[in-house]
Amino acid sequence: MSTPEARARIVDSVGQAPKVPRHCLLPACEASFDIVAVFSGVDAANGWRLLSFFGAVYLCPAHAGPCVSGRHLPSWLDRSAAVGMTGIGCACGWKWRPSAPSTMGDHRDEWVAHLADEIAALAAGEGN
Ligand SMILES: [Zn+2]
Ligand SMILES: [Zn+2]
């Protein structure tokens, strides 16, 4: 439990601390929030979502919707495949399998590109 005094000290130290921005997972998105301020309770990460599948990455409120709804969430395919040859899938049925041994970063880039396409398509649909 934190006392009001302890909390005030934390708030003070955060006020002096350098900001530690976390950016939206989508490369074209410039949204970010200060994770130190959020963890210390100074600021709320309103609408930001942690996507723990790729480690700790975040989606901004504008782009978290498809994941929050469960329509688009990453999952591994072929867990028994050779190292680096595991595929990645999405809750919507999208799949990607590497043609050569690949890293987690490759899988993430493919899935993020897929999510960006879906979000763009969604936005275009809303414009009609
Ligand atoms: Zn975003
Ligand atoms: Zn999907």
C-beta of residue 68 within 8 angstroms of C-beta of residue 62: no
Give the pLDDT score at 5.
Answer: 75
Question: Closest-lying ligand to the alpha carbon of 115?
Answer: 2
Once rounded to an integer, what is the mean pLDDT over residues 94-114? 95
Q: What is the mean pLDDT of residues 12-40?
A: 81
* pLDDT of 14 above 60: no
pTM of the model: 0.78
Least confident of 17-21, 49-53, 73-77: 17-21
Angle at CA of residue 37, ends 61 and 55, nearest 5°: 60
> Which pLDDT value is given to residue 35?
84
Q: Could you say which ligand is closest to the alpha carbon of residue 23?
A: 1
Ligand 2 centroid–CA 56 distance in Å is 19
72 φ/ψ sector (left φ>0, alpha ψ -120 to 50, else beta): beta
Distance of CA 73 from the midpoint of ligand 2 (Å): 6
Strand partners, 23: 32
**Closest by Cα among 128, 111, 126 to 67:** 111
Cα-to-centroid distance, 28 and ligand 1 (Å): 8
Distance 102 CA to ligand 1 centre (A): 26
Average pLDDT, stretch 83-87? 91
Ligand nearest to the CA of 62: 1
Q: What average pLDDT is seen over the chain?
A: 86
pLDDT band at residue 12, thresholds of 50, 70 and 90?
A: low
Angle at 80 between CA 59 and CA 84, to 5 degrees: 60
